[in-house]
Amino acid sequence: MKRYISFFLAFIITISLLFAAPVTTYAGTDSTIDQDLSDIGSIMQFIKDNYVGNVTNDEMRDAAIKGILSSLDKYSTYFTKDEMSAFNQSTSGVFSGIGMVVEQRDSNIVVVSTVDGSPAQKAGIKSGYIVVSVDGKDVKGMNINIVTNLIKGDKGTKVKISFFVDGQVKEYELTRDIIKINPVSYKIINGIGYIDISEFNENTTENVKKALDYIDQYNVKKIVLDLRDNPGGFLSEAINVANFFVPAGLVLTVDVKGNDDQKYYSFLKTQKYKLAVLINGGTASAAEILAGAIQDTKAGILVGEKSYGKGTVQTVIPFKDGSGMKLTIAKYLLPSGRCIDGTGLKPDVEVKDNRALLPDLIYTKDLKKGDAGSDVKLLQAYLNLLGYYKGEPNGYFGNDTYDALMSFQQKAGINASGVFDKNTKDAVSYFYNLTLKNDDQLNKALELLK
């Protein structure tokens, strides 16, 4: 399931299409500009001298830069030092930590999953574990960003984490390591290859190559490429992956202001696979470049719903103090010459997305009548999807939730107590997973490739 997760970064920033471009520094000589800058400095000093609260020059500087960038377009933005560090880690797909995926559930930090091969997975840490303390520091009620900052650290250093598991506290001492996020998953479905790319980070190309090597072992020549909910990533990775699928020729033209157009090509001599590409409203940026190139060159067909429509390119500019900015510097054109900014890609075969994607349902404690919080709200969402809870989830376990849960338990053939316990959680998850298998878009793509 694709979801927003924290790989022990301070927070998550959705990846935009990134592009390495030369950055020119200009020495201003225009007297009007000099006067404007002088005026801004005077205003900042006046605020500092007269504002009733406390404000520093750095705070005003940050706010001024944020204001300027936010007035340009929705992709240009300012990063503080911490934000810049987290952004660089999130786009690289590599960080130092223990490899746990966590969510904040009310006052608890709950493990959702672990990264394959990570210290956390090797130690046996599992979904549903609740973080109690980090190096002896109680984290109850802490914000997830603070907790993840306590846990992450340099490779080779140790961290002690206590978890609440099945009514008792267990402590683990883990050695931090370099974690590489693999954004690619793959399998073979009824003789057809299936490759899901969740983002284009620095590890994408090598893992797509591994997926194709696996598929080639079985002499499979038809592939479904799933780019649904892929927010983009590095331009270079999208071009590299295009070279696996797009016939030799132009893949992309980047129109940089004040510079010559930059063109990117595929050098694939012979197209090896028959393709169907899944897209939806969450397919954006670099993912649209790959899908658009496949569509324009007739290398495959697009199945699903209209994509997001991000046809611009950003560059990240670091500042000396560790902060930085992301600035839109160009628009891109697909092989046919079209720009999809604001319009998106229209699928060749339109199919509505019937999947209902909810965050993982995790059992942390029994839930009963009178309880309230995000755990109750998520339970209501699951029961609503399964047809038992009527109305909008509100996070309060009242009579309506009790009646819905009782009905579900009776139908599922488990103890009808009206209490959400571990057995009920397993039953709800089982029936929810059955609904996920009913993927009309994927089924249509498979049908078209037969």
Give the residue numbers marked as catalytic. 285, 296, 310
CA torsion, ordered 148, 154, 159, 161, to nearest 10 deg: 20
> 6: which 2 tokens?
């924290």
What pairs with residue 188 in β-bridges?
193
> 218: which 2 tokens?
């079985």
What pairs with residue 351 in β-bridges?
none
If DSSP codes are grouped into helix, strand and coil, which group holds residue 140?
Answer: coil
Whether residue 196 contacts residue 186, with contact meaning beta carbons closer than 8 Å, is answered with yes
If DSSP codes are grouped into helix, strand and coil, which group holds residue 315?
Answer: strand
Whether residue 184 contacts residue 237, with contact meaning beta carbons closer than 8 Å, is answered with no
How far is it between the farthest Cα atoms of the chain? Answer: 80
> 303: which 2 tokens?
């199945």
Between CA 121 and CA 126 the distance in angstroms is 7
**Residue of 266, 267, 279 lying closest to 224 (CA atoms):** 279
Between CA 105 and CA 364 the distance in angstroms is 9
CA torsion, ordered 209, 214, 218, 221, to nearest 10 deg: -30
Question: What pairing do the DSSP bridges indicate for beta strands 249-256 and 262-266?
Answer: antiparallel
